[in-house]
Amino acid sequence: MSGNIQLLSDTLERTRSENRAALIAYLPAGFPTVDGGIDAVKAVIAGGADVVEIGLPHSDPVLDGPVIQTADDIALRGGVKIADVMRTVREAHEATGAPVLVMTYWNPIDRYGVERFTAELAEAGGAGCILPDLPVQESALWREQAEKQGLATVFVVAPSSKDERLATITAAGSGFVYAASLMGVTGTRESVGAQAQDLVRRTRATTALPVCVGLGVSNAVQAKEVAAFADGVIVGSAFVQRLLDAPDAAAGLDAVRALAGELAEGVRRSGTSA
Q: Where are the beta strands (DSSP E) in 139-198?
A: 152-154, 156-157, 177-180
39 belongs to the catalytic site: no
Task: Give the integer Cα–Cα distance in Å for 69 and 60.
Answer: 8
Give the separation between CA 255 and CA 47, rounded to whole angstroms: 10
Catalytic (active site) residue 35? no
Looking at the DSSP bridge assignments, the partners of residue 179 are 157, 213
Dihedrals phi, psi of 141, to nearest 5 degrees:
-65, -45
> Looking at 50, 64, 84, 231, which residue is catalytic?
64
Catalytic residue among 39, 50, 53, 91: 53
SS3 12: helix
For the chain, where are the E strands, in sequence order? Answer: 22-28, 51-55, 100-103, 128-130, 152-154, 156-157, 177-180, 211-214, 232-235
Name the H helices within 183-248. 194-204, 220-227, 237-245
Active site residues: 53, 64
